[in-house]
Structure 1
Amino acid sequence: MLISYNWLRELTGTRLTPLELRERLTMVGLAIDAVAEKDGDALLDVEVPSNRPDCLSHVGIAREVAVIESGRVRPPCSKPTRVQGHATDLMSVEIRDTDLCPRYAARLVRGVKIVQSPAWLAKRLEEIGQRPINNVADITNYVLHELGQPLHAFDFAKLSEQRIVIRRATGSEKLKTLDGVERALDANMLVIADAERPVALAGIMGGEDSQISIHTTDVLIESAYFNPESVRQTARKLGMDTEASRRFERGADCDNVLGAQSRCVELICEIAGGVATKDAIDAYPSPLRARSIAFSPALVESLTSLRVAETEMQRILTGLGIAHTEESPALWKCVPPSWRIDIERQEDLVEEIARHFG
């Protein structure tokens, strides 16, 4: 995955050079295959481990850089959004198969103007190997690479009855995807449908019939969490591999659904104009619970032979977003952040401390 040094510097204020970052990130388990200079920037080709989907974005890599330098990540900021009306008054969302889609959020932006992206946005995407399409599509792609959350923009006028239904396909349904290929679906594949037909392959690619064009004025912004195995099986069966599917297959951050959508909507209103609904329809019937891990600080030395001061352990854990409280002198309660799906037991916490200390 290509990471822009300039983008990282905006997020962290890093003082390390690209080559120094290559060395330091490799030391903490994020191997940098190459560093290439391009148009006043440096591109780091990061080899992201399969169990670290949180690092499939600039903010994800920025978190690691911030811990390395004892710094912090500067949250991306946008201009205030113009808002009017509530999403539930304009559309509806129904999840029929919650096992494959635990959460789905939809928000509407009306009165946009679809044109080419401003030069800064097009350049940033081109630098990391992404082809600019139009301002709204480019913003969804930009936020994906910034925050790691795949998003999709539908032309709202092309959705029958202004309905979104997340369901399994029927054996007879077909969908022509954005790449122009007509795909035969089966009953194990999850689709995003309107009142009549599928309009997107969930977590993989949108449909041609509902894509935005220069005639689009109202866009529905989708942000969701899809079952990783469901996305993986559908993508393999159809021979597809997309930026979205790569992230959903590994496991996206369910708690980032609304945050990434808000960031996308703010940028659309700023760049493409329009007025957003005051809120989103956030269908989330069974919220995921935060994980809690009992952690013994003494385990660090016993497993790694590293003598790490507790203050340093706390610095590393805090920098990685891992909340911790002292239950007793010998036992901490640690709560991994929603984006770290790979942290499940105290040995994982030991590994996190060891890779950033030693």
Structure 2
Amino acid sequence: MQAWGRELGFSQIGVAGVDLSSAEPGLLAWLAAGHHGEMGYMAQHGLKRARPAELLPGTLSVITARLDYLPRDTPEGWPIHELGRLNRPGEAVISLYARGRDYHKVFRQRLQKLGERIGQAVAPLAHRAFTDSAPVLEAELAVRSGLGWRGKHTLVLQREAGSMFFLGEVFVDMALPPTAPTTAHCGQCSACITACPTGAIVAPYRLDARRCISYLTIEHAGPIPTELRPLLGNRIYGCDDCQLACPWNKFAQRSPLPDFEPRAGMSDATLVQLFAWEEAEFLRRTEGSAIRRIGHERWLRNIAVALGNALAVGAEPEPLRAALQARAAHPSELVREHVAWALAQASDTMGA
């Protein structure tokens, strides 16, 4: 199965059982604390996330897979390069995973092929592939199947690959021998907690999504809380800070797939350039990209905040202010409010 996985581009394959009952109290406590924010689907499915056989009746085992996503030409020292971009406020920073093709499509197709191959070789097999697309405790299954351990930032870490990878699963109606879990290796390190710009990692292994920049720029549909806006900096889609700070990511692997090569404008554009995209251009440039799911309105909302943050530190005020003023009468109240806030940051700075 490992060989089949490698042929399909996976870096690692594991097998987990379906009894996740020990994870249920933690899931319920996280939901009760409201740490899922507006992600109502997290609460809607409740404990089904921890019960694979309820999601897909007949499931006896879960095959897990890891798919690395760093582009092939990612240079050595890439975390330092990415952190450096945060100090150039006029640049637009998009999370590394989202700069290429939508991983949901890439991963799910390959997981489906893995299930089909196993069924052809072993026996008739009922199976279903998932990747961040159903009520599945992906990290829990990955840890139980030996793909890595849970880092203090709640992501899965692997000694030979860091955390720059996607997770996926194939639920099967066949009892397979589970792979052994690995040991944890975070030790006393708390670099990820220290690095989080908004303090979203409220305790080791506990994330409050309501403060997470990835949640705010992607999952959150309404106005971004004003007290958090300055902390977003120039991050317009997602945030990699906790991963960039993690020492284990010096071992992050490059993907063998061309799908995750960055598209034009996703890793080297300025805020002004991206803010100028009209909806038609946004849809054209994000076709087949995970970014498209937030829509043009939230795209402008996010960039407006970043432009305001750039103005607040005095970065090239004229083009930044002109870009914002061009959207001041935008049809969307959400965009108009964030543009007004952003323009006020320039006024505050000039008056200081």
TM-score range, shorter chain: under 0.3
Q: With structure 1 as the length reference, what TM-score do the two structures score?
A: 0.25
Which one has the bigger strand percentage?
A: 1
Q: With structure 2 as the length reference, what TM-score do the two structures score?
A: 0.25
